[in-house]
Structure 1
Amino acid sequence: MPDSRHSVSVAGVVVDDQGRALLIQRRDNGHWEAPGGVLEQDEDIITGLRREVQEETGLDVTPTALTGVYKNMTRGIVALVFRCDAAAGSLRQSDETSAFRWVTADEVAELADEAFAIRVQDALIAPSTVPIRQHDGIHILG
Structure 2
Amino acid sequence: MQAIIATLGYVLSPSRDQVLMVRRDTRPDDLHYGKYNGLGGKLEPDEDVVSGLRREIHEEAGLDCTTVDLAGTISWPGFGRGGANWFGFVFRVPAWTGTPPAGNDEGSLHWVPVADVLAGQVPMWESDRHFLPLVFADSPTVFHGVMPFADGKALSWSFVS
Same fold (TM > 0.5): yes
Structure 2 unmatched runs, 5+: 28-32, 79-83, 143-161
Cα deviation for residue 110 of structure 1 reads 2.3
Distance 1:113 1:9, change over 3 A: same
Aligned residues of 1:25 and 1:99 also touching (Cα < 8 A): yes
Identity %: 30
Cα deviation for residue 119 of structure 1 reads 4.1
Name the TM-score, length of structure 1 as normaliser.
0.77
Which structure is higher in helix share?
A: 1
Name which of structure 1's ranges 69-78 and 15-24 shifts more when overlaid on structure 2: 15-24
Q: Find the counterpart in structure 1 of residue 121 from structure 2.
A: 110
Aligned residues of 1:56 and 1:97 also touching (Cα < 8 A): no
Aligned residues of 2:67 and 2:96 also touching (Cα < 8 A): no
- Whole-angstrom distance in 2 between the partners of 1:97 and 1:70: 24
Q: Find the counterpart in structure 2 of residue 50 from structure 1.
A: 54
Aligned residues of 1:21 and 1:124 also touching (Cα < 8 A): no
Name the TM-score, length of structure 2 as normaliser.
0.69
User: Of residues 55, 79, 98 in structure 2, which corresponds to 1:89?
Assistant: 98
User: Of residues 20, 23, 26 in structure 2, which corresponds to 1:22?
Assistant: 20
* Structure 1 residue ranges, 4+ long, deviating more than 6 angstroms after superposition: none
Name which of structure 1's ranges 107-116 and 53-62 shifts more when overlaid on structure 2: 107-116
Cα deviation for residue 85 of structure 1 reads 2.4
Q: Find the counterpart in structure 2 of residue 64 from structure 1.
A: 68
Name which of structure 1's ranges 86-95 and 103-112 shifts more when overlaid on structure 2: 103-112
Aligned length: 127
User: Of residues 127, 139, 149 in structure 2, which corresponds to 1:127?
Assistant: 139
Tell me the C-alpha RMSD between the 2 structures. 2.1
Structure 1 unmatched runs, 5+: 131-142
Cα deviation for residue 86 of structure 1 reads 3.8
- Whole-angstrom distance in 2 between the partners of 1:122 and 1:46: 19
